[in-house]
Amino acid sequence: MSSTTTKDSSNSDLISQLHNTLGWLKNNPCPYVAGPETTRKRASVALIVRIQPSYAHQPDKAAAPADSIDAFFAQDWVENGEPEVLFIKRAARKGDRWTSHVALPGGRRDPEDENDQQAAIREAAEEVGIELSERTCIAVGNLPQRVVTTSWGRVPLMVLCPYVFLVTRHDLPPLRLQPTEVASTHWVPVRSLLDPSQRTVHTEDVSNRLANQETGIKKWALAGMLGKMEFSAIQLLPTESLYCHESPTDDSNRHNSAPPRNVLKRLLGLTHPQTLPPPPQHRPLILWGLTLGVVADFLDLLPPHNALELWTYPTFTMPDVRLVIWLTTHRFREAKRLQLESEIRAGPPAAVVEEGLDVVSLQDNERCNEVGMGGLGSGRSLNGYSFESAVETMLEGYYACMRKGVTYALVCRLFGMATIMGLLWSRKTSLQLILARFNRLR
């Protein structure tokens, strides 16, 4: 009885916090970010929230969908339900920067789209077949817009515009996945996104981003020197998943059909292609990077989320590079920690730079903070709330400091290699002198 009461109380607290968060977002829209002059591309994503009814509290099937956030959360089945967020796993596509990544439904804005929100609505309908209209959901508002960059922040790609939608119907039609875009969909409880035990790290080969436009041996050498990068991440625990067997997957080659018994047919290529689709992937679902930054802004509004304890700075996996970066950025990180503990935030939401390894310069009158690929937000209440997240403060200037660490590490490597070569050369010379003296004595 005690555990049931605790669970019900926890559910009630989360629902209440979600109610306050969505109401605040509805009344406090984030500002429009035009982006740098070098790119006009814009993309939108939809963060879709639903309430999954509990077994003991089922919705009234005859009741009409609520037309406001307050009316929706006043329903008994909502008060006792479990809030969830919809994620997609992108289909494997060659040349796609975000191939096979966990993401939110969305895509680039078309000229026909009336605005950024309409782009998110259209993309969600195309990719997963969900109708984000007044008949099925409430358009809550938007989260801070991001300038997405690459190549240490030198190349701006687009402005990303996240929008939040609250599903008001309990009987949504089944999702319909677009095979070329989506490999699977996953409903994930908000509770698990807030769970510290689900925090992990994700390693990514970013040599192609660091060595912009480099190919062949140069790209290989850079990857060999630096290794992979490590970012903050969340392991997702979905309650409901849907797989699209028509989508190409990044591990479909593991399920090839057995070779034909007839050797002659096999040599001549007279074999039938595999007709059965590969089974669903069972790899862990890892949320990181750009999508994590967007989701973190949402989690940021749900106490007791605390980025200072949950978030880790990006670094490299090579031990020597990792150590030098840790030493180089130690004072910086400590100063940021003290700043976060003492700073009282106030002001409008800031323009954010995401995905790249550096900032992109916006207009002089716009504040622009660095947010890396693995960023999380900070835990704050809505009273006197400012949308300047902790990760913005933590990463502002971090990548410039980290680049110095990378430079120092590579210099140390060259110095070490030169020292070893010198020692080997001196030993070789000494050995030659000893042999020469021995020959003269003979």
* For residue 351, pLDDT beyond 60: no
Which has the minimum average pLDDT: 70-79, 90-99, 292-301? 90-99
Side-chain-side CA neighbours of residue 131 (13 Å):
10
Confidence of residue 380 (pLDDT cuts 50, 70, 90): very low
Per-residue pLDDT, 390: 60
Per-residue pLDDT, 373: 32
Region 159-172: mean pLDDT is: 93
Q: Which two tokens stand for residue 60?
A: 């009234």
Per-residue pLDDT, 365: 36
- Distance, in Å, from the CA atom of 17 to the CA atom of 24, rounded to the nearest integer, reads 11
- Distance, in Å, from the CA atom of 298 to the CA atom of 274, rounded to the nearest integer, reads 43
Per-residue pLDDT, 152: 53
Q: What is the mean pLDDT of the chain?
A: 76
Region 346-364: mean pLDDT is: 36
- Distance, in Å, from the CA atom of 185 to the CA atom of 128, rounded to the nearest integer, reads 8
Per-residue pLDDT, 333: 87
Q: Which two tokens stand for residue 53?
A: 């009814």
pLDDT in tens, 109-132: 999 999 999 999 999 999 999 999
Per-residue pLDDT, 338: 83
Per-residue pLDDT, 383: 40
The domains found in the chain, sorted by start residue, are 2-250+284-441 (3.90.79.10)
Tell me which residue of 145, 153, 34 sits closest to 398, measured CA to CA.
153
pLDDT in tens, 308-350: 667 778 888 888 888 999 999 999 988 888 877 775 443 333 3
Per-residue pLDDT, 369: 33
Confidence of residue 354 (pLDDT cuts 50, 70, 90): very low
Per-residue pLDDT, 218: 55
Among 43-52, 298-307, 373-382, 400-409, the range with the most confident prediction by mean pLDDT is 43-52
Q: What is the pTM of this model?
A: 0.77
Per-residue pLDDT, 95: 64
Tell me which residue of 338, 182, 347, 312 sits closest to 248, measured CA to CA.
182
Which has the minimum average pLDDT: 53-67, 120-134, 251-265? 251-265
